[in-house]
Amino acid sequence: MVDRVFDRSNALYVKNVPRKGRGLFAGITFKTGDLIERSPTWGFDDRQKNLVDMTGILQYYFVRGDKEQKDGPIGRYVVFGLASLVNHSLSPNAETVWTDEESGAWASLVAIRDIKEDQEITQKYTNISDYPKAIKFVE
């Protein structure tokens, strides 16, 4: 059995993390400010949130907490690609940077500190309050 699965570039790989499930790992070294992954998204509104929250997709959607969204409803997005497998940490080494383009919203995973090869890539979840109380986040 293979213990890790590489993407086409070998820059990232996925493996199981005890008590967390799948996680994203660096196959190469990333420096602060490096783009790790750029992923397309699907946005949904508050009405759709109630439906999405009843599915397993709840574990894979992101809340857009950027400063450009001061007005209007909270932006919620399903992020496609490897960026959707980044686990939570209170001391993250990456963050999601959002951009809006003609083709839609994109989520870019960017290193906020140096990440060594084989280190897990983590970010601070902004929608922990949306998760069922039974889910316990592990550092």
Question: What is 24-84 written as a DSSP string?
Answer: EEESS-B-TT-EEEEEEEEEE-HHHHHHHTTSGGGGGEEEE--GGGSSSSPEEEEEPSGGG
pLDDT tens digit sequence for 80-100: 889 989 988 889 999 999 998
Q: How far apart are CA 85 and CA 24, in angstroms?
A: 6
44 or 36, which is more confident? 36
Is residue 139, in this structure, part of any structural domain at all? no
What are the CA-CA distances from residue 101 to residues 104, 105, 107 (Å)? 5, 6, 11
Looking up residue 125, the CATH number of its domain turns out to be: 2.170.270.10
Instruction: Over range 123-130, report the average pLDDT.
Output: 69
- pTM of the predicted protein model: 0.78
Task: Say if strands 94-101 and 5-6 run parallel, antiparallel, or are unpaired.
Answer: unpaired
Four-residue CA torsion sign, 69, 75, 81, 87: positive
Residue-number span of the structural domain to which 119 is assigned: 5-130
Domain count, the chain: 1
Strands 87-88 and 120-123: parallel
